[in-house]
Amino acid sequence: MKQLEEKILADGRVLSEAVLKVDSFLNHQIDPALMKAIGEEFASRFKAAGITKILTIESSGIAPAVMAGLSLGVPVVFARKRKSLTLTDGLYTAPVHSFTKNETNDISVSHDFLGEGDVVMIIDDFLANGQAALGLLDIVEQAGAECAGIGIVIEKGFQPGGKLLRDKGIRVETLANIKSMEPGHVEFYGEVPN
Ligand code: 5GP
């Protein structure tokens, strides 16, 4: 998605070879016009999939997920992150190792908001090693729902998550796929094969 790639080039900051900071439009301050365009792009890619619900993870997945939900006319559920879950009644839970924090937390979603018969699109801000996506897929499976695919705002294609998920036969739609980066320079792949 050209508009997103241009924004990353203009405002993204590469902190190391593995971490891109996009605090000015996605992870702290949010650019609503860009989020709207992102939501519409996800919606158009998944419009034939019969999506009934969007699932994301707090907090940075929420903005693009809400915009996609608005465009598709479906509710958005975000998995909550907790250090440790003592009361798990009525919750689907899955462990997720955080790429940025290097710690493992359980994520949870209430049984009330996901269930059999749902066709789910998963959305997240970044795809690195795929751990967040795998945790969300685990929750979709526990709910007896179907996953129609995963929408990622920024994939770091040089990290293994994208291949891991696509090798499992999961549809992964990425709006900006980074081939390589270093401080001061970001290079994108063209269209990602699915
Ligand atoms: P994964 O679970 O695929 O290893 O990592 C994805 C999660 O880690 C995303 O939910 C995102 O919050 C965070 N993340 C991974 N890489 C980056 C990055 O380069 N920059 C930022 N801001 N977050 C990242």
**Which token pair is 173?**
């739609």
Q: Report if residue 132 sits inside a domain.
A: yes
Distance CA 78, CA 6 (A): 28
Question: Residue whose CA is closest, atom 5 of ligand 1?
Answer: 128
Q: What pLDDT does residue 190 have?
A: 78
Distance CA 48, CA 14 (A): 36
CATH of the domain at 132: 3.40.50.2020
- C-alpha 27, offset from chain centre: 12
Q: Report if residue 64 sits inside a domain.
A: yes
Q: Report if residue 83 sits inside a domain.
A: yes
Q: What pLDDT does residue 169 have?
A: 98
> Which residue range is the domain that position 142 belongs to?
38-178
Ligand 1 pocket mutation, candidates 125, 134, 138, 172, criterion most atoms within 8 A of CB? 125
b/e map 92-126, b = 16+ CB within 10 Å: bbbebeebeeeeebbbbbeeeebeeebbbbbbbbb
Chain segment 70-88, per-residue pLDDT in tens: 999 999 999 999 866 677 7
Q: What pLDDT does residue 84 have?
A: 62
Ligand 1 centroid, distance to 179 Cα (angstroms): 16
Question: Residue whose CA is closest, atom 14 of ligand 1?
Answer: 126
Q: Are residues 157 and 176 in contact, defined by beta-carbon separation less than 8 angstroms? A: no
Q: What pLDDT does residue 193 have?
A: 44
**Which token pair is 2?**
């050209």
Distance CA 25, CA 35 (A): 9
Q: Report if residue 18 sits inside a domain.
A: no
**Location of structure tokens 């792949």:** 189
Ligand 1 pocket mutation, candidates 7, 8, 28, 99, criterion most atoms within 8 A of CB? 99
Mark the ranges of the chain whose per-residue pLDDT is less than 50: 192-194
Q: Are residues 92 and 111 in contact, defined by beta-carbon separation less than 8 angstroms? A: yes
Ligand 1 centroid, distance to 126 Cα (angstroms): 5
Q: Which residues sit in the known binding site for xanthine?
A: 20, 27, 156
Q: Report if residue 23 sits inside a domain.
A: no
**Which token pair is 99?**
């790429």
- C-alpha 92, offset from chain centre: 18
Q: Please tell me whether residue 31 adopts helix, strand or coil conformation.
A: coil
b/e map 67-81, b = 16+ CB within 10 Å: bbbbbbebebbbbbb
Q: What pLDDT does residue 82 have?
A: 80
Ligand 1 centroid, distance to 60 Cα (angstroms): 10
Asked if this assembly's ipTM is beyond 0.90, the reply is: yes
For the entire predicted model, the pTM comes to 0.96
Q: What pLDDT does residue 87 have?
A: 74
Pocket of ligand 1 (CB under 6 A): 19-22, 27, 60, 99-100, 124-132, 161
Q: What pLDDT does residue 85 have?
A: 65
Q: Report if residue 184 sits inside a domain.
A: no
Q: What pLDDT does residue 17 have?
A: 87
Q: Please tell me whether residue 163 adopts helix, strand or coil conformation.
A: helix
Q: How many domains does the chain have?
A: 1
Q: What pLDDT does residue 192 have?
A: 47
Q: Report if residue 16 sits inside a domain.
A: no
Q: What pLDDT does residue 136 have?
A: 98
Closest CA to 64 of 186, 184, 150: 150
- Work out which ligand 1 atom sits closest to the CA atom of 22: 22
Q: Report if residue 142 sits inside a domain.
A: yes
